[in-house]
Homo-oligomer: A and B are copies of this chain.
Amino acid sequence: MNRYVSSLELLSRARAGETAAIGRLISRAEANVAEARGALSTIYQKAGRAHVIGLTGVPGSGKSTLVAALTARLRADGEKVGIVAVDPSSPYTGGAILGDRIRMSELARDPGVYIRSMSTRGATGGLARATLDAVDILDVSGFKSIIIETVGVGQSEVEIAKAAHTIIVVSAPGLGDEIQAIKAGMLEIADIHVVSKCDRSDANRTLVDIKQMMTLAASASEPPEWQIPVLGVSSHSSEGLDNLANNIKQHRGIAFMTETGRRRQLSIANFRLGKTAENILIERFAKASAAFIPSIAARLQRRESDPYSLATELLAASLT
């Protein structure tokens, strides 16, 4: 018979370096287990020292390979690196599908690296909450750099990358028109641009394109202490990796020591507060409304009234 290990005990084990305890804590956070709430509260209040790096890019941009190369590079400095990968997954079968299975088998053997995939399944808002909880758990467990990797398509997914101190947007040469167009939507959130696969002959065009788009999009709100760099990197030949690592370190200084960084941290707190509150609100509503939904949905299906009126009716019935 297994004793249920309390989340507070898992927390002390995690802080003592026990990898399995980190995984179990993250699972409890993901499942929103009530018992874990006290531990997560302690964790949040102790966290805040790790450098959180958001890394996003369209599918095919070579994100995962870059994360692996960057992690190896950061490890060379001796610091522990955590990776939280937000993967698209089936809305039905659930579970992250890329995950530990495909990615980075060598890194996974390094005890100074922790890799975790989060499923995009489940309630909206819940994903951001669980991802940021996982970051905090890694933070208090001594990981000094934590990379949040998200696919750069989908509103909720891009949003999560924004909840980082330093946002890296990865582009790659030779992707199709559709993907290029999606990319345009992410250009403005970058603190650092990376063009991956820079050993390819067409990479230079992508570098030039991004610089051009940045000129067009240049805004007055840009912080004076940071010129957004556009860096070519080849994960295979390691070209540009040192440069990327140096830029990340420099931006870490901005994140932790300047007014610009403080504003970013406040806006992350704002985002997290709002998401968490929405989450709780929608959960409460889901419970309160369950009994009323079948009959009201049936009336909607019969088109006896419209979605707005019936939703208002549902809210009134549920919230009294």
Contact = CB atoms under 8 A, between A and B. Distances in A.
Interface in A54-103: 58-60, 63-64, 87-93, 97-98, 102
Contacts of A59: 58-60, 153, 176, 178-179, 182
> By DSSP majority rule, is chain A's interface helix, strand, loop, or mixed?
helix
Nearest to A159: B91
B308 A41 contact: yes
A188 interface: yes
A107 interface: no
Contacts of A98: 178, 181
Contacts of A258: none
A191 to B, nearest CB: 14
B281 A269 contact: no
Contacts of A153: 59, 88, 151, 153-154, 157
User: A89, A121, A155 — which one has the most chain B CB atoms within 10 A of its CB?
Assistant: A155
B151 A90 contact: no
Nearest to A279: B311
A45 B88 contact: no
Nearest to A284: B315
B280 A282 contact: no
24 contacts: A41-B306, A44-B307, A48-B303, A59-B59, A59-B178, A59-B182, A60-B176, A60-B178, A63-B178, A87-B181, A88-B153, A90-B188, A91-B162, A98-B178, A154-B155, A266-B298, A269-B297, A272-B300, A273-B297, A273-B314, A276-B310, A277-B285, A278-B282, A279-B311
Interface of A: 37, 40-41, 43-45, 47-48, 58-60, 63-64, 87-93, 97-98, 102, 120-121, 124-125, 127, 129, 132, 151, 153-159, 162, 175-179, 181-182, 184-189, 217, 265-266, 268-270, 272-274, 276-282, 285, 289, 293, 296-298, 300-301, 303-312, 314-315
Given A120-B154, A273-B307, 18 more contacts: A40-B306, A41-B306, A41-B309, A59-B59, A59-B179, A88-B154, A88-B181, A88-B182, A90-B184, A91-B159, A98-B181, A121-B155, A132-B307, A153-B157, A154-B157, A269-B297, A273-B297, A273-B311
